[in-house]
Structure 1
Amino acid sequence: MLSIRPPTAADAGRLAEVHVRCWQEAYHGILSDGFLAALEPAGRLPLWTQLLADPPAGSLWAAYDGGTAVGFAGVRPVPSTAGVEPPAADRELWGLYLLASHHGLGLGGRLLRAALGTDAASLWVASENTRAIGFYRHFGFRADGAADLVPEWENLAEMRMVRPGQAGISG
């Protein structure tokens, strides 16, 4: 049974595994094989332990298949990015990842709706990640011209997408 719910502290280990595997799937061909091979769940576990220790209401959602986490979405207030004009939205989707084995089942859209509803928001997406860009466009996000490089991720080029609040988005 596929479901969406807020994760609990007990999910930290599995979400660390999902986080790494999703990165390896989503960024294959965008980041080097060596970079992706070096990612390990143990490196993400402190992040997930901290995130799940006392998450603000509505900030974290996970997708489950038969009780096993297979994806997640996280929202936060928009952080300031040096040299980049802030977006009009005050909420940022900092991550939405779903294992490739679960693409095409509607879980990504369900995660996005759980995390944001139809509220205005922004996000950063790898400029070469055409699948993700298409997904976000489907849900009303558009590139706003802001771009950035992430040096610690092999100078990954990112673009910002924004969405005004829209009551009619259904996806």
Structure 2
Amino acid sequence: MMNIRPAAPADLPVIAAIHIASWRVAYRGLLSDDYLGQPVADDLNAKWVGMDIPDEDVLLVATDDTGVAGFIYVKGGKRPAYIDNLHVDPSRKRSGIGAALMSAAAKILIERGHESTYLTVITDNEGAVNFYRKMGGDFGPKQDELLYGEPVQTYPVHWTDLSILAS
């Protein structure tokens, strides 16, 4: 049975490992192979391991009897709140974990007085683009960004009514 709970400091190395594995699968061909080797592991471990999570932010993990299966990180100090990361263990995709994490985070944001949220998604990440469409996201125009120094095109995706995500 899946459980969603706030992340604990002990979860951070597992969150980093899921993030690395997710990027290596989802971003193959979108980011350079060189970057997806050791540099991505170095960058994402530096981001997560030992991170201090600001009180206004939301970091949730989805767990089951096998451990942490996915996570969502929302920067709640921004208006609208910014979904910085949503990743599921690549072997567990399409099992409802991402949708459950989005819903749980939306409920917390509503409790904290937020009305909307947004994220950015790489335009060629078809799996994620399709997922966010299914989740009712409103897509903006393509934009150019740098992701850890790698040029990418992204869509901003908005949810102007968090209650839709929370249901």
Please give the TM-score of this superposition, normalised by the length of structure 1: 0.80
Q: Secondary structure at the match of 1:30?
A: coil
Stretch of structure 1 that moved more, 146-155 or 20-29:
146-155
Residue number in structure 2 paired with 1:64 = 63
Among 85, 88, 95, the residue aligned to 1:98: 88
Query: How many pairs were matched up?
Result: 161
Residue number in structure 2 paired with 1:24 = 24
Q: Secondary structure at the match of 1:33?
A: coil
Q: Deviations over 1:112-133 (max 9, x none)?
A: 1111237421100001011111
**Does structure 2 conserve the Cα–Cα contact (< 8 Å) formed by 1:123 and 1:162?**
yes
Tell me how large the CA RMSD over aligned residues is: 2.5
Residue number in structure 1 paired with 2:138 = 142
Please give the TM-score of this superposition, normalised by the length of structure 2: 0.82
Cα pair distance change 1:131/1:78, threshold 3 Å = farther
Task: Show the 5 A alignment for 1:104-143.
Answer: 104-117=94-107, 119-143=115-139
Q: Secondary structure at the match of 1:101?
A: helix
**Does structure 2 conserve the Cα–Cα contact (< 8 Å) formed by 1:13 and 1:41?**
no
Unaligned runs of 5+ in 2: none
Q: Percent same amino acid at aligned positions?
A: 25
Unaligned runs of 5+ in 1: 80-88
Q: Deviations over 1:66-102 (max 9, x none)?
A: 25222110111476xxxxxxxxx61111110111211
Cα pair distance change 1:167/1:40, threshold 3 Å = closer
Q: How many Å separate the matches in 1 of 2:149 and 2:59?
A: 23
Q: Deviations over 1:102-149 (max 9, x none)?
A: 112111100111112374211000010111111111111121225132
Q: Which amino acid aligns with 2:18?
A: V
Matched, 1:6 2:2: no
